[in-house]
Amino acid sequence: MTVLPILRWGDPLLLARAAEVADPTAPEVAVLAADMAATMQEARGVGLAAPQVGVGLRLIVALDVGDREAPRDRAPLVLVNPVLEAVGDAVVEGMEGCLSIPGLRGVVPRFERVGWRGQGLDGRTIGGEAGGFLARILQHEVDHLDGVLYPMRLKSPAYMGFEPEFDRWMRARAGEGT
């Protein structure tokens, strides 16, 4: 497994629509998925999309973190040609970061629950329903496949900033002090 360089905000490849993966069982797709998982783990991220490592294919890896402090050594969900569908119309605001936009955070509205499906590396269709942080991660990563970065979905441009300043501000707004 190879840790790959991650493209950063401003690289036009991050704004391009990625192509469908024709054969999810192709060996190079498995190599890419393994490299993306290693890259995500090294960067201590919870999700990564192929365009972020310069590959314009519809492939994401995501960690099913029940909470944001969960251990990150488990195998990520690998999803080829993912498709999401909102479950209900409830929208929740939450804080997001992106490995392509290091050091920054923003408040982004997302559907609270999504149905997801796609293919595994064995070519079989897999799917499920997700809520919580995983629903947010999946929406963030699938956005990458359509050339959409989270600053394009901010609640408002005012709701973005550097950590830890922004985290501190948001915690204060939530009445948690500090």
Q: What is the set of active-site residues?
A: 141
Q: Which region among 3-11, 79-87, 91-99, 121-129 touches Ni ion (by CB under 5 A)? A: 91-99
Closest separation in Å from C-beta 59 to Ni ion? 14
> By C-beta, is 8 or 26 nearer to Ni ion?
8
The reply to whether 108 sits near Ni ion by the rule CB under 5 A is: no
Range in contact with Ni ion (rule: CB under 5 A) among 1-9, 16-24, 98-106, 160-168 = 98-106
Among 98, 130, 135, 160, binds Ni ion (CB under 5 A): 98
Rg of the Cα atoms in the chain: 16
CB of 111 to Ni ion, least distance (A): 17
Type of residue found at 28 = E
CB 160 within 8 A of CB 166: yes
Residue with tokens 């982004």: 108
Q: Which two tokens stand for residue 45?
A: 């991220």
Pairing verdict, β 91-96 and 104-111: antiparallel
- Residue at 56: amino acid letter: G
* Pick 92 or 149: Cβ nearer Ni ion: 149
Structure tokens given for 165: 């300043």
List of residues 6+ apart from 155 with CB closer than 8 A: 93, 106, 107, 108, 109
Contact segment (CB under 5 A) with Ni ion among 31-39, 59-67, 72-80, 95-103 equals 95-103
Least gap, CB of 148 to Ni ion (angstroms) = 10
Interface residues toward Ni ion, by CB under 5 A: 98
